Amino acid sequence: MSSLTADFDELIRRVEAGREFAHASFEPIFYLVFHPNQLLEVKQLMPAWTSKLANAGWQVETFSIAKHIADILAKAPLRKVWLEADRKDPLSWGRTNTALANALTSQGRLQSRLEERLNALQGQSSTIMLVTDLQALHPYLRIGAIEAQLQGKFHVPTVFLYPGTRTGKTRLRFLGFYPEDGNYRSVHVGG
């Protein structure tokens, strides 16, 4: 298994090379794939990676999936209903997860936040977006579903820090245990 630092360096080389392919069919979507047991190490490396990108002339933007999920769920209109239902039947995880997933996906709440952020960065040629904390999507949804809905809207290089495993050139297994998915339109490094 290659090191996270080497994989990150390779990813940045590919991001830089991707700038040369700025024609209409290329979307600058990249995945840094790492084994889920490396989550803590990735978190620890983030400040160094962010500094390295800034020193190379990038304006680094981050989008934490976990922070946005927490905010959406904290402000959900049904929050009081959920809490009351949880008090009555605290072990009803299936129903709870379905309700929370619906809160994130109905009206594209999570997806629209990422889309808004990408739109705000349009035209900023030296900007890169790091999308972090994808593990917070479990068990609600997977990032591939969001990526597919945002096709054509990635105007700056966008790097998804993906905890999972690769099972081929384009197939990924989210968190290493979900069924493999090959519906990604992106460049994968690591894993």
Lowest mean pLDDT among 63-72, 158-167, 168-177: 168-177
Find all residues with CB under 8 Å of 174, minimum gap 6, and list them. Answer: 134, 137, 138, 142, 143, 144, 162, 163, 164, 181
pTM above 0.85, yes or no: yes
Q: Please name the CATH architecture into which domain 4-64+110-190 falls.
A: 3-Layer(aba) Sandwich (3.40)
Residue 19 has pLDDT above 60, yes or no: no
For 83-129, how does the pLDDT look when each residue is reduced to its tens digit (9 = 90+)?
Answer: 888 888 888 778 878 888 888 887 788 899 999 999 999 988 899 99
User: How far, in whole angstroms, is CA 75 from its chain's centroid?
Assistant: 21
pLDDT tens digits along 134-152:
998 888 888 888 888 888 8
